[in-house]
Structure 1
Amino acid sequence: MRLINTNDGWFEEFICNDIPPYPILSHTWEDGEKKIDMTCRIAKKDGYQYAWVVTCCIDKSSSAELTEAIKSMYQWYQQFSVCYVFLSDLPPPQVAPLEIALSRCRWFARGWTLQELIAPANVVFFDGEWKDRGDKETLIDHLVSITGINKGILRHTQSLSSMSVAQKMSWAASRTTTRIEDTAYSMLGFSTST
Structure 2
Amino acid sequence: MRLLNIKTTISSSTGTPNVPDYAILSHVWGSNEFLYSDIFKDEVSVPREKGVKVNRAAQFAREHGDTHLWIDTCCIDKSSSAEVSDTLNSMSDWYENATICFAYLADVTSRDDLEGSERFKRGWTLMELLAPKDVIFLDSDWNEIGARGSLANQLHKITNIDINILQKGQSAACAQSAATKFSWMAGRRCSRVEDVAYYLMGLFGVNMPILYGEGSEKRSSVSKKNS
How far does residue 12 in structure 1 lie from its aligned partner after superposition?
3.6
- Secondary structure, counterpart of 1:45 in structure 2: helix
Pairing partner for 1:52 from 49, 53, 70: 70
- Secondary structure, counterpart of 1:85 in structure 2: strand
Q: Deviations over 1:59-105 (max 9, x none)?
A: 111100000001111111110111100000001x4xxxx23x10000
Q: What is residue 76 of structure 1 aligned with on the other side?
A: 94
The 2-side partners of 1:53 and 1:146 are apart by: 25
Normalising by structure 1, report the TM-score.
0.90
Q: Is the 8 A contact 2:13 2:75 kept in 1?
A: no
Matching of residues 1-194 of structure 1 within 5 Å: 1-6=1-6, 7-16=8-17, 18-30=18-30, 31=32, 32-91=50-109, 93=110, 98-99=111-112, 101-156=113-168, 159-192=172-205
Q: Is the 8 A contact 1:83 1:120 kept in 2?
A: yes
Q: How many residues align?
A: 186
Q: Which runs of 5+ in 1 are unaligned?
A: none
The 2-side partners of 1:150 and 1:171 are apart by: 10
Normalising by structure 2, report the TM-score.
0.78
Q: Which runs of 5+ in 2 are unaligned?
A: 33-49, 207-227
Instruction: Extract structure 1 runs of 4+ deviating beyond 3 A.
Output: none
The 1-side partners of 2:145 and 2:126 are apart by: 19
- Secondary structure, counterpart of 2:24 in structure 1: strand
Q: Deviations over 1:3-42 (max 9, x none)?
A: 11112312242433x1111111111110242110101111
Identity %: 37
Q: Is the 8 A contact 2:130 2:173 kept in 1?
A: no
The 1-side partners of 2:173 and 2:141 are apart by: 34
Deviates more, 1:27-36 or 1:119-128: 27-36
Q: Is the 8 A contact 1:121 1:155 kept in 2?
A: no
Q: Is the 8 A contact 1:89 1:127 kept in 2?
A: yes
- Secondary structure, counterpart of 2:184 in structure 1: helix
Bigger Rg over Cα? 2
- Secondary structure, counterpart of 2:150 in structure 1: coil
The 2-side partners of 1:160 and 1:24 are apart by: 20
